Amino acid sequence: MDGIRAFASFPSKVPETISDCSSEYLLYIQSVKGYSENTVTGYREDLRHLSDILGFEKNIALVTLEDLRECIGIFSKKKYSVTSINRFIASVRGLFSYCKKFNYIEKNPALELKTLKAPKQLPKFMTPQEVDELCAAPEKKELLWESRDKAIFELLYSSGCRVSEVANLRLQDFSNGYESAIVTGKGKKDRRIYLEKDAQDALRAYLMERDAIFLKSSKKGASPVDNVFINQKGGPLTSKGIWYIVNRYSGVEGTQTQVSPHTFRHTFATSMLTNGADIRMVQEMLGHSSISTTQRYTHVTTERLKEVYRQAFPHSGKDD
């Protein structure tokens, strides 16, 4: 189906404006290409910026390379990060490539857009002590829902899941008790994740409370949801909700070492490689389509080894 403009929800009239083309393209990458919800949201935001600057009703066939460069210049003046600008460029390239593919435009002005060179940044990760402190925070701080939040933290660390994968996890996805589960990652690709004992125990404790909530709500006629993690009203917990939970516990009210859900993923990968796991196996566990993405974490372990060497070796430049 890839490349076929066959959606009942697409208008029969060929789109001409930036706004209409963007709407159709976003539907395409979500329905046909299988891009994740977070990716589609990011593209939608970037293309909204494009429409804001050039005009929603501007004919996309009239957009020039200079127009696109003007957008990038505006972002630079507003001090957008290199990462944000490069994502905008990727979104615009995708839109115009799509429009050229279906002959909405004769020339693709985005072909000559060059991405900015980004400074190399190693993924941020937590030490084992920081992980233990954060996983213990729900019981100590009593900020939100103790058993649920601990289960989320333990699962994120144990599995290396993306936040969207945790939010979309269903009860029926588990097997062998709670030793493993099937998650759907980017590109709608399924993979198996594994949970160690701490994560299994935390999950069981939370699910007992979760069942009690739905037992009460069922008496009032409410239907339970399949999502493993729910909010305090009994609805599915979203990715934004998990971000909020992690921010609360790692912020000033909690450990005061601010991290994101993705930091757990970085920590999982770094820990696996540091302890001798094969990089191909780690790639599979993380659901990376390219080995080069996983190789970022080998740089982290290399830097850690260098630091250990500098601290431990007597002629490493330390003061006597």
**pLDDT tens profile 253-275:** 888 888 999 999 888 888 888 88
Residues of the chain short of pLDDT 50, as ranges, are 1-4, 6-8, 320
* 43 contacts 88 by C-beta, under 8 angstroms: no
- Catalytic residue list contains 104: no
Q: Looking only at Cα atoms, what is the longest distance across the chain?
A: 78
- Which residue is catalytic, options 33, 58, 248, 262? 262
How confident is the model at residue 286, as a pLDDT? 87
The DSSP letter of residue 273 is H
- Which residue is catalytic, options 186, 191, 248, 296? 186
- Which residue is catalytic, options 162, 178, 206, 210? 162
How confident is the model at residue 302, as a pLDDT? 64
CA angle 42, 66, 28 (to 5 degrees): 35
Quick one: how far is CA 268 from the chain centroid? 15
- Catalytic residue list contains 162: yes
- Catalytic residue list contains 178: no
pTM above 0.75, yes or no: no
Alpha-carbon distance 143 to 37, whole Å?
28
79 CB neighbour count, 10 Å cutoff = 7
- Catalytic residue list contains 297: yes
Tell me the per-residue pLDDT of 96-154, one tens digit each, with 9 for 90 and over: 999 999 999 999 999 988 888 866 666 788 888 888 999 999 988 878 899 999 999 99
Those residues with Cβ within 8 angstroms of residue 284's Cβ, 6 or more apart along the chain or in another chain? 191
- Catalytic residue list contains 315: no
C-alpha separations of 86 from 63, 75, 143, 292 in Å: 19, 11, 37, 19
pLDDT, the chain, mean? 84
How confident is the model at residue 317, as a pLDDT? 53
Residue 164's nearest CA partner among 4, 27, 36, 17 is 36
How confident is the model at residue 27, as a pLDDT? 93
- Which residue is catalytic, options 148, 150, 210, 265? 265
How confident is the model at residue 303, as a pLDDT? 62
Is residue 69 within a helix (H) or strand (E), and if so which, with residue range? helix 65-77
* 143 contacts 249 by C-beta, under 8 angstroms: yes
How confident is the model at residue 24, as a pLDDT? 93
